[in-house]
Structure 1
Amino acid sequence: MKILQVLAAALLLAAPLTVAAQHSHKPGTAAHGHKAAGETHAHKSPHGGTVRTAGKYHIELVQQAGQVHVYLLDAKENALPLDRTTGTAMLLSTTGRTASVKLTPAGDHLVAAVPAGTTLRTAIVSLKANGSSLSARFEKLDAAAKAGKALSAAYACPMNCEGSASTQPGSCPKCGMALVKKS
């Protein structure tokens, strides 16, 4: 068992993601290239998390009170329906422990419990969606948590639309109304 944990940790730390991705954010504009799946670049985070490229899609990871929430997003960062979407997350803690957790549907996103007492350093999310296998690597999650990033949403839709929570002002991805600051 210890050998499997060491092997999993080594793979988690050294696994290069080599899938190339190209997409366009606006109709009629040229596509831009990305070096690898999971690359960070100028994407908004509609749910207050961290967004990574995964093929022609994006994956957003949000940390909340002992859970990770995973959103599958299109090229315009809108949440996609999760019909027959399945997934797992390989979690690496700041103490070097690894855990593989199953992501389960929860409305417009997937969720998994983080083992009690765990501070995440890295997560590799693997999804099977729309006939594609997708993966994204999220690193330095412990630094983001310390900075307060992605821990709680300060804005939400006044119509309480599911998936509208955000750390910054904007519009609801469901109904388009302006997000309001929570009290």
Structure 2
Amino acid sequence: MHVFRSLLASLVFLVAAPLAAHAQQHAEMAAGETHAHVAPHGGVVRSASPYHLELVAQPTELAFYLLGAKMSPVPNKGMKGSVMVQQTNNATTTLPLTLAGDDHLTAKLPAGAKVRTAIVTLTTADSKTMTVRFEKLDEARGHQAVGAAYTCPMHPDVAAAQPGKCPKCGMALVKKS
């Protein structure tokens, strides 16, 4: 019986270790955060108590996903907000957020913009307002544009380093050939 328990414990460890390593690969802890966050859409996640906000940066737009308990999507109905963007050339612009799909908001970037910092102010349908800051975006995600291996069949400008959903239409990203 002891041998069976040892074997079972070893098997559980062997199965759980790769899963834990995978979760850590896609988790990021920001300054001031108490724990790392797994990003369901491959972006950057920050706490916005009681929510989390995920930023998915694309060359022409920023997509923001409000996430609830256990990183579940929060419908965007009735939400409004804006994002102040600081570019790598230190130019600052405030952009309106528009509803996209049923679970996120987007902001169209000025042509050629390279975002360093984004400060989002978002008001939920129940009138709760939150402000969330995303910093060092040019450093943290700059390497992904080069290694982007997945794209949206409907929006070729949407690219990602890993599989996921298109922030514009929700279609599954497909591997580039």
TM-score normalised to structure 1 length: 0.62
Structure number with bigger Rg: 2
The reply on whether 1:138 has 2:134 as its aligned counterpart is: yes
For 1:122 and 1:76, locate their aligned partners in 2 and report how far apart those are by CA, in whole Å. 26
- Does the CA-based 8 Å contact 2:43-2:57 persist in structure 1? yes
Of 88, 97, 104, the residue aligned with 1:94 is: 88
- Does the CA-based 8 Å contact 1:54-1:135 persist in structure 2? yes
- Unmatched segments (≥5 aa) in structure 1: 1-34, 157-164, 173-178
- Does the CA-based 8 Å contact 1:47-1:167 persist in structure 2? no
Equivalent residue letter for 1:142: D
Shift, 1:152, TM fit: 5.3
- Does the CA-based 8 Å contact 1:46-1:166 persist in structure 2? no
Q: Aligned residue for 2:65? A: 71
For 1:57 and 1:111, locate their aligned partners in 2 and report how far apart those are by CA, in whole Å. 18
Shift, 1:65, TM fit: 2.1
Shift, 1:138, TM fit: 0.4
For 1:97 and 1:64, locate their aligned partners in 2 and report how far apart those are by CA, in whole Å. 18
For 2:160 and 2:49, locate their aligned partners in 1 and report how far apart those are by CA, in whole Å. 24
- Does the CA-based 8 Å contact 1:47-1:166 persist in structure 2? no
Shift, 1:168, TM fit: 4.5
Shift, 1:46, TM fit: 0.6
Q: Aligned residue for 2:117? A: 122
Identity level (%): 44
Question: How many residue pairs were aligned?
Answer: 133
- Does the CA-based 8 Å contact 1:155-1:168 persist in structure 2? no
Shift, 1:52, TM fit: 0.2
Show CA shifts across 1:76-124 (max 9, x none). Answer: 1121101100010000011111000000001021011111121111000
Alpha-carbon RMSD across the aligned residues, in angstroms, is: 3.1
Structure number with higher helix proportion: 2
Shift, 1:144, TM fit: 2.4
Q: Aligned residue for 2:6? A: none
